[in-house]
Amino acid sequence: MKNTFPLIAFSFLLLFFSSYTPKAKSPKHVLIFGIDGLSVEGLEKAKTPNIDKLFSDGVLSINTRSVMPSVTLPNWTSHLTSGGPEQHGVTFNGWTLEEHELNPIESDAEGYYPSIFKTLKEQTPEIKTAFYYNWGNLINSFNQKYLDEVSFEADDQYVENYEKALQFSKDNQEVPTLIFLYTVHVDHAGHSNGWMSKEYIKAIEAADKAIGDFIKNMKSEDLFKDTSFLLITDHGGKGNGHGGLSMGEMEVPWAITGPNIKKDQNFKSPNSNANTARIIADIFGVKELQPSAIGITPKGIFKK
């Protein structure tokens, strides 16, 4: 009698592999917590257990540089474009597409300097993007046609935007997402009461609580593990203001955590607000930004 074992084994393997479907990779998600006016000294003094826990397994820099001037709109524009003011042309908080001095060095069809939202929409078409904010001017330097959801909350409020961001994550968990979730209340506390006043510190602690509640809800909805999180800011402060060249204004915290991010709580590589969009592009596997982008990915952020 012939040995039929090899034939039986081969048939079994053929049946197994013909019915085997490789598990699809989970889509990549990035969520940016943008806290306006968050200084290094303020973050170190305030009680921020939720921020500390979230980024304890990731990279934390406390010597990231703002772009000059250390003003709100130029820096948020740099974060989300990887251009400096000399590239994107946003040099003051009152910038609008219609009223400005310096034209962008390159622009999209509507005249805006290209943002990370544009780059991802063009190179990862299935991505969904969202922009939540509570300072009216913030949206002015970004072309909203590359944003799937935009929400403004008045009077320094941010609770509804946090809820909307969570719902957006739930609704789009099967596709890549980039969510920018911003609040200005910390900056306004600095302007009203001083950058290291008790009111300023309380504002940071309120932001920390909101982040903690948000992360708790993401975990309960099984949205956490496939998401990379960033904590970014535009500038620090001095007295009741900012815009100058002091280290307290120009040196800011910057943090990232998530899949494939190294753990380094004492990250010392030179870093700039203009690097943020470049790093986000790397997470999504996008190699090319606009030709004039100046952002780089500092060594030591990604595991490989």
pLDDT band at 26 (very low <50, low <70, confident <90, very high): confident
Residue 79, pLDDT above cutoff 50: yes
Residues 37-49, buried b or exposed e (16+ Cβ, 10 A)?
bbbbbbbeebebe
pLDDT tens digits for 91-132? 999 999 999 999 999 999 999 999 999 999 999 999 999 999
Say if CB 53 and CB 252 are below 8 A apart: no
pTM: 0.91
Residue the block writes with tokens 């490989």: 304
Give the architecture (CATH level 2) of 26-283.
3-Layer(aba) Sandwich (3.40)
For residue 17, the model assigns a pLDDT of 44
pLDDT tens digits for 263-294? 999 999 999 999 999 999 999 999 999 999 99
Mean pLDDT of 147-168: 98
